[in-house]
Chain A
Amino acid sequence: MSNIAGKAYAMNVITPIRWYMAWINKLIFKIALSNPSTLKGLITLSLIHYARWVIIPRDNFPRLDPSQPKEELNYSYMLFFSNFNGSWDQYVDSFTFAIPSGLDLFWKWNVRYPKSVPLTPFHDYIRHNQIDTAHYYNAYPMAASNDVKSAQKIKKALINFNAISADKAPEEFFDDYNKLLNDLQHHFGDMKPTPIVSLSADAVRKRYLQIPE
């Protein structure tokens, strides 16, 4: 199991939804998509790289050959995948505290969804329906989602500064340079592996090399 790749955690949650209610969820997602302000709460949670919701109708699990038995399910299923920074608790709790109503809206029609407040039943629900990842790959294990967004701003500002200010007289260059640092101060930061990286990477390494715990 490797739910962690560097600073990112991979969450997979599968929850049943009554097939005749799935269309309501799809409609809610459609409205959320066409009206980005509804996702404002999610954007506040800047620890997320990418997340998605997939609804599998109960008769629509991929069937590739007549020899494969046909699924006979009572419910449709909603899959939730997230890539976020920090620990499981931090993530689940930040959802609960930042966007409880949005969370309830997305999961409301799922069987036995306990609502996001209070925390304990919600934790139980997610934990029970979560599936561990077997292999998780992250193109930038040392970077948090905020680092990726900050890096984009730094690159743009650096290229712009170089074009405009690099050849100015030293004093003018210095003024512009200080302004650049001032403008970018929220985006700086050395990126290193965190202790979480070494613990998890070590566990995976041991398993890979078949070293006993």
Chain B
Amino acid sequence: MATKSGNATALTVLSPIKNGSLDEVSFSDITRERCLRLPIHEKSPLSKVPNTYLARLFILDDVYYESLPANDRVFNFSDITSLFSDSARKKALPRKDHLKSKYLVFSSNFYGGLDEYLAGMWDNWSYVDHESIQRDVRHIWEHCVAFDRVTDSASFIHYIKRCQLDASLFFNGSTDDSLQEQLKSLYLKQEFTRFAVEHQGQGAAEIQQAFKAFIERVQPENLVTPTWPPGKSTP
């Protein structure tokens, strides 16, 4: 299974949205609107979900391809062998597909195991929406098929696992440290860069003294504080 790369995990979830509508607005559009209106950066509910590196939500309305609808039964091989001329290949157009349900897609890259992460989602996902109402994770998934059976952390984990798809290939171009470790490192990088610039040209004893005070202040091995909060968007 390629869903892990070291300690980093790739979660891909497709939750079918109920066909139907409420007050003439389809459930998929209601869900889309709720996703679009989520507060961003530090205020995103995902900033409260432990160990989330990067995550996204979107609605899969249908499947797409760049071509015209037609039948490709005869000319499938043309893609492999290129035996046929371009004009013949152009005639070998694919068939048209449409989905019967729309899907809420949740994709997350995070540190650690899946069960622990999903429990963290259930417990911590909270935000105040644009109407000043406090919301939890159920607000986003509310109109998904069979989500009404989700009542607690265990049933949420079970539900998401039913919607989960394995990755065929997960590429980690970053690190697989815990988020706390990544954020502390970024904090130190920022602070130490500034320290180096500010103390350029000073004498040995002066820099040494300042360095000791700097270490005291930034506490490099203390992951909890001082550090960057998740989603920090301003210096």
Chain A interface (Cβ within 8 Å of chain B)? Answer: 1-2, 5-6, 8, 10, 12, 14-16, 18, 25-26, 29-30, 32-33, 39, 42-43, 45-56, 60-65, 67-75, 77, 79, 81, 83, 109, 111-112, 124-125, 128-129, 131-143, 145, 147-152, 154-155, 158-159, 162, 166, 170-171, 173-174, 177, 181, 187-193, 197, 201, 204-205, 207-210
Per the bound structure, the CA–CA distance linking A188 and B163 in Å amounts to 42
Would B36 and A67 count as touching, CB distance under 8 A?
A: no
In the bound complex, residues from chain B placing their C-beta under 8 Å from that of A191 are: 186, 189-190, 235
In the bound complex, residues from chain A placing their C-beta under 8 Å from that of B52 are: 137, 139
Would A142 and B14 count as touching, CB distance under 8 A?
A: no
Would A142 and B182 count as touching, CB distance under 8 A?
A: no
In the bound complex, residues from chain B placing their C-beta under 8 Å from that of A69 are: 19, 100-101
Mark contacts of B42-85 with chain A using CB atoms, 8 A cut-off: 1 yes-contact digit, 0 otherwise.
00101100001111111110011111000010001001000000
User: Shortest beta-carbon distance, B21 to chain A, in Å?
Assistant: 16
User: Shortest beta-carbon distance, A209 to chain B, in Å?
Assistant: 8
Would A6 and B189 count as touching, CB distance under 8 A?
A: no
Closest to B187 in A: A151
Number of interface residues of B (CB under 8 A): 97
List 10 tightest A-B contacts by C-beta distance, closest first.
A151-B185, A174-B204, A48-B173, A134-B35, A137-B46, A170-B204, A128-B66, A69-B100, A151-B189, A29-B169
B interface, over-half SS: mixed
Per the bound structure, the CA–CA distance linking A32 and B212 in Å amounts to 47
Asked whether A136 and B56 contact (CB < 8 A) given A61-B14, A143-B186, A174-B204, the answer is yes
Would A133 and B56 count as touching, CB distance under 8 A?
A: yes
Per the bound structure, the CA–CA distance linking A188 and B207 in Å amounts to 18
In the bound complex, residues from chain A placing their C-beta under 8 Å from that of B183 are: 139-140
User: Shortest beta-carbon distance, B34 to chain A, in Å?
Assistant: 9
Per the bound structure, the CA–CA distance linking A63 and B146 in Å amounts to 10
Q: Is B137 an interface residue (CB 8 A)?
A: no
Q: Which of A42, A52, A152 contacts B177 (CB 8 A)?
A: A152
Per the bound structure, the CA–CA distance linking A33 and B5 in Å amounts to 10
